[in-house]
Amino acid sequence: MDRWLNRVAVVTGASSGIGAACCKDLVAKGLVVVGLARREERLKELKDSLPADQAARFHGRKCDVSKEQEVIDTFAWIDATLGGADVLVNNAGIVRAGVGITKEGNGDDLRAILDTNVLGVSWCTREIFKSLQRRNVNDGHVLIVNSVAGHRVPNIPGFTMGMYSPSKHAITALTEVLRQEFQNSKTQTKITSISPGAVDTEIIDKAALVHFPDLPLLRSEDVADAVSYCIQTPPNVQIHELIIKPVGETI
């Protein structure tokens, strides 16, 4: 991790779960971390929980990644205040439990999922890549927290994945599109999709868990460890896709 010391990482969806775990892990490893989330008070709580030396390198900033202008303004602030970011962890994502594609009046819910899970990733990745290019930084790393549901739609009796699984399938395709675009730009910036199985976070649908009372769950820290593993790879190694399942998962 030596090459990342004091370099800037941005983590979206940083107020809880995987995002908060990534912030804690990266700042503990010597990076300057900007945590983005809608819940500003949670970011303050996260900063207050850190040791003083790490808290000094953590910056919480309110940002709804589904709002393009907020993303633009946030990355402009990062450039002006911290000199720009070199690592991006696209973690922000939402679920609308039980809202099926065929459910009447579901328009706002379906749009919200796509705006956050797909467009939010696109806005953030575009802005950090533009910054890397302007600063002639050739070794950035963009990571996207995907899902096993982005590779196969789980068939859970009496339950629908709604727009969540299609949004994550879009992320799988987006990862490859970004790899090609980075390559076409003659940069060594890496792109990685990390696809965990069920993780014990606020986003997990407790109603679905009723069907699987003994379902093993990953911890947020397990995914944060995977992020650190991916960014530590040598310059010639790119982990394109990393699927993580808890031992014993049956879905």
Q: Which is the catalytic residue, given 4, 58, 123, 164? A: 164
Measuring CA to CA, which residue among 69, 58, 51, 81 is closest to residue 9? 58
208 falls in which pLDDT band (50, 70, 90)? low
Using CA atoms in the order 53, 19, 60, 7, what is the torsion angle rounded to 10 degrees?
60
Task: Report the alpha-carbon distance of residue 2 to residue 232 in Å, rounded.
Answer: 9
Answer whether residue 6 shows pLDDT above 70: yes
CB atoms within 10 A of CB 11: 33
Q: How far is CA 240 from the centre of its chain?
A: 15
Q: Is 57 exposed, middle or buried (0-12, 13-18, 19+ CB in 10 A)?
A: middle
Q: What is the mean pLDDT of the chain?
A: 95
The secondary structure of residue 78, as a DSSP letter, is: H
Task: Report the alpha-carbon distance of residue 100 to residue 83 in Å, rounded.
Answer: 43
Residue 195: predicted pLDDT: 98
Q: Which contiguous run of DSSP H or E holds residue 21?
A: helix 17-28
pLDDT in tens, 74-90: 999 999 999 999 999 99
Q: Which contiguous run of DSSP H or E holds residue 18?
A: helix 17-28
- Catalytic residue list contains 229: no
Task: Report the alpha-carbon distance of residue 91 to residue 24 in Å, rounded.
Answer: 14
pLDDT in tens, 71-129: 999 999 999 999 999 999 999 999 998 899 999 999 999 999 999 999 999 999 999 99
Is-above-0.75 flag for pTM?
Answer: yes
Task: Return the ∠ at Cα 23 (arms to 209 and 75), rounded to 5°.
Answer: 110
pLDDT in tens, 152-165: 998 888 889 999 99
pLDDT in tens, 24-69: 999 999 999 999 999 999 999 999 999 999 999 999 999 999 999 9
